[in-house]
Amino acid sequence: MSKPKDWREEIAFVVDFMRELSRQTDPQTAAALYGTRLRQGGFVTSDGFLSVSRRDLQYPAYRITRSSTWKEAINPWLERHRLPVHTTGLLSEIVYSNDSVIIDDLPNRYTPDDPAAKYFQGMNFLQATPNFDDGEALNVSIILTRSPEGMPRDMIPMIIMQSNLWGRSVLNSVLRRELKSAYDALDHELKTVGNIQRSLLPISLPEIPGLEMAADYETSERAGGDYYDFFPLAHGRWGIFIADVSGHGIPAAVRMAITHAIAHTRPDTEVSPGGMLAYLNSILERRYIGQTGAFVTAFYAIYDSNTHRLSYSSAGHPPPRLARGEGVSELNCRGGLPLGIEALATYPECEIKLHSGDRLVFYTDGVSEAFDKNRALFGTDPIDAAALADHDARQILDRILADLKRHVGDAAVADDRTLLVIDVK
């Protein structure tokens, strides 16, 4: 594109230039385009140019990052090791002056052994534009001309302003790319943590005589602190466990993994639900979360498939819903404190006999405390209504999830959510 001929063409040229520049995501490509279009537009007239940087260097060192004499452009962001670094000469004086520099007798200002002599050969005029970062001219753009007159001096203020605005734009582009790279790396790690966490959950639901089950688990972030599990015990008994670690994300996921590890060291025939919770609480409080302010709510039950009796204990966890006949109640045994708060806390136990047609719904507070756009809670009423429906466990679970989705709308998941529906046959 040739130089614009009048102000209309100049406006059109600049608009097209800015539009093209806005599409660039690679700073090296953008820099090449910027220089080319400035020269095409006649905004800068020169016979040569240099770019010099002292970023990450100590006085008097400087790095030459661009030159019109180079046959190959070197990417200063990706190939810094290929850029020449010097410690003497006129360029060192210029780059550490922290100011604009104009020289109209260039041959008299450097010696033959100056590292930049080869860039200055045949040039008589030098104009150096400082590019500031946090108040320091870490980069300098240099225009060279054969004519001692160089360029109109009244153009230089605009060149300095343009160059610094351009420099900020490039810096933002570089930072954005670095931020994306860091985010992608972090996101990959979070996905890995999430995958590890999910591997701690049951791969499939166990087949427990007399029970039909369905479960759903969703985290608010890549990883979360909800946890449910089953423990095969002796004589046809099964441990059923659900827990919710306070907080979200990686810290909650780590504490969830710790809870999982401790829980799997203990279940056996002799441990009652209250004893299991006391065991978990003691270790969590003394060794892991007692001084962090975190805690774990939990509900542990033991189901005897021979007698259909369910003994259970709670550590500050939302009580499961029990649908029986035409009504819904809750397994609300007087519970103890959440795990990890008081090392000597005790956990009372209760017991009920389950009957054919009974339905249990275990859940974490990410379900009951989910908000709609008006900050209204989902609550337990929709859970109870679904639990009374004449469907199987999977259909009941799907109905609760559908009602929950309608309730929250397009809002992001604010808390981890776990649902476990158990039908007694």
Radius of gyration (C-alpha) of the chain in whole angstroms: 35
- Calpha distance 235→147 (Å, rounded): 100
User: How remote is the C-alpha of 377 from its chain's centroid?
Assistant: 27
Q: Environment class of residue 15 by beta-carbon count within 10 Å: exposed (0-12), middle (13-18) or buried (19+)?
A: exposed
Which of 126, 165, 168 minimizes the C-alpha distance to 148?
Answer: 126
C-alpha span between 228 and 150 (Å, rounded): 76
* Owner of token pair 């009941």: 396
Supply the pLDDT for residue 66.
94
pLDDT one-digit tens code per residue, 35-84: 888 777 777 778 999 999 999 999 999 999 999 999 998 999 889 999 99
What does the pLDDT look like over 377-398, one tens digit per residue?
Answer: 999 999 999 999 999 999 999 9
3-state helix, strand and coil shares in percent for the chain, rounded to the nearest 5 = 35, 25, 40
What are residue 344's phi and psi, to 5 degrees? -100, 15
Q: What is the DSSP letter of 254?
A: H
pLDDT tens track for 129-166: 999 999 999 999 999 999 999 988 988 898 889 888 88
Position 241 confidence tier, pLDDT thresholds 50, 70, 90: very high
The stretch 279-291 carries a mean pLDDT of 91
Q: Among 384, 415, 414, which residue's Cα sits nearest to residue 400?
A: 384
The answer for residues whose C-beta is within 8 angstroms of residue 135's C-beta and 6 or more apart is none
